[in-house]
Structure 1
């Protein structure tokens, strides 16, 4: 785990934050994400919610990166909105901890460690990844 944020990292957080502030709707979009490809391009994503299904912002950011032709996605951050209107870095949910490294194996994710941003790897977030059980006939 590493924590210092450089200008490139701050731009990633700012991109997700600006998207969420601009589009926030408590019923539809509560989380925004930004993913940075090896090209340096930033791809954005929003969470989508309905009464029966939700799609995480991280997955839509990854989809946008793939649509944009990005093959190597290096970094990602997701943010939520506090009551005071400022954004906060969110840790990935269990589904994203499984999905994100499947799509982008070498990705680093910016996580919140008690109010301090830290870069973590997929292995940090999911040290024992899901493995298909054998069939016992």
Structure 2
């Protein structure tokens, strides 16, 4: 795991500021920030209803793509800790699969037992899901 750079700290701060502004225990529990190749930061927010949850990471990735980013460099997600302060959290299984699809070389900021650092997507999903292919006999 690599240590955070100053730019990584800024990304964590951007996601944390969004979470502090928009947090709602029912509807908006996670915020994400992704830095594109242009250096711009794009934010995303967890959306929830009684039946559907949309993670913050795809929201951030979508905002980056809408803004014209063709490559993504680094992504982070934050959620609230027990004291009500933002903290880095790790992507869920779906996001571990989705994020590298939009940035194979993307750096992912994670929390490994209290140590915050950066890993490659392959460290998050070492044995990725593979779609079954139709069999013609």
Same fold? TM cut 0.5: yes
The residue aligned with 1:69 is: 68
The residue aligned with 1:107 is: 106
The residue aligned with 1:119 is: 118
Aligned pairs for 1:69-108 (under 5 A) are: 69-108=68-107
The residue aligned with 1:58 is: 57
Whole-Å Cα distance in 2 between the matches of residues 82 and 117 of structure 1? 14
The residue aligned with 1:36 is: 35
Whole-Å Cα distance in 2 between the matches of residues 134 and 78 of structure 1? 33
Gapped runs of 5+ residues in structure 2? none
Whole-Å Cα distance in 1 between the matches of residues 128 and 89 of structure 2? 21
Structure 1 stretches of 4+ moved >3 Å: none
Deviation track 1:82-118 (CA, whole Å, cap 9, x = no partner) reads 2312111101100001111112211110000111112
Q: Say how many residue pairs are matched.
A: 136
Whole-Å Cα distance in 2 between the matches of residues 16 and 57 of structure 1? 10
The residue aligned with 2:22 is: 23
Whole-Å Cα distance in 1 between the matches of residues 22 and 37 of structure 2? 27
Whole-Å Cα distance in 2 between the matches of residues 69 and 29 of structure 1? 25
Whole-Å Cα distance in 2 between the matches of residues 85 and 53 of structure 1? 24
CA drift at 1:6: 2.1
2:75 aligned counterpart, secondary structure: strand
Deviation track 1:18-40 (CA, whole Å, cap 9, x = no partner) reads 00001101111000000001111
